[in-house]
Amino acid sequence: MQQQQQTGFRYTFLSKWTVLILTIVTVGLVVLFTSMSFQTPINMASNVGLGVLLLLLAILVYAIAWIVAFIDSIQEKAYGWTVALFLLVPFLIGPLFYSFLGPKNTR
């Protein structure tokens, strides 16, 4: 059997990279929501309904990012991060911190 060469870059769905990408997408959706919903003056051309749909999509994407970070922290046996993700839920910054400061992916 051939040995696989180890590289410094590993990507799986349950990784810090996935969490970072989903968090960036969430920020983009929230920016679009605010630009569509809070135009001044609010007129018939403002897309409040579309803005609200973008906000709901942002909430869904953020929830997926949080779940991926949570499962990845358990998979990496970094239980301190598992607790930290729960504690940071009210501040909405858990997945962002996890993607930059979380444990190195080993699986």
Q: What is the residue type of 63?
A: A
- pLDDT for the residue numbered 37: 79
- pLDDT for the residue numbered 94: 92
- Give how far Cα 44 sits from Cα of 37, 39, 61, Å: 11, 11, 28
What mean pLDDT comes out for the span 80-97? 92
Question: Which pLDDT band, with edges at 50, 70 and 90, does 107 fall under?
Answer: low
- Give how far Cα 82 sits from Cα of 11, 21, 75, 103, Å: 20, 20, 10, 11
Task: Output the pTM of the full model.
Answer: 0.79
What mean pLDDT comes out for the span 25-34? 92
pLDDT higher than 80, residue 8 = no
pLDDT higher than 90, residue 38 = no
The number of beta carbons lying within 10 Å of the beta carbon of residue 28 is 13
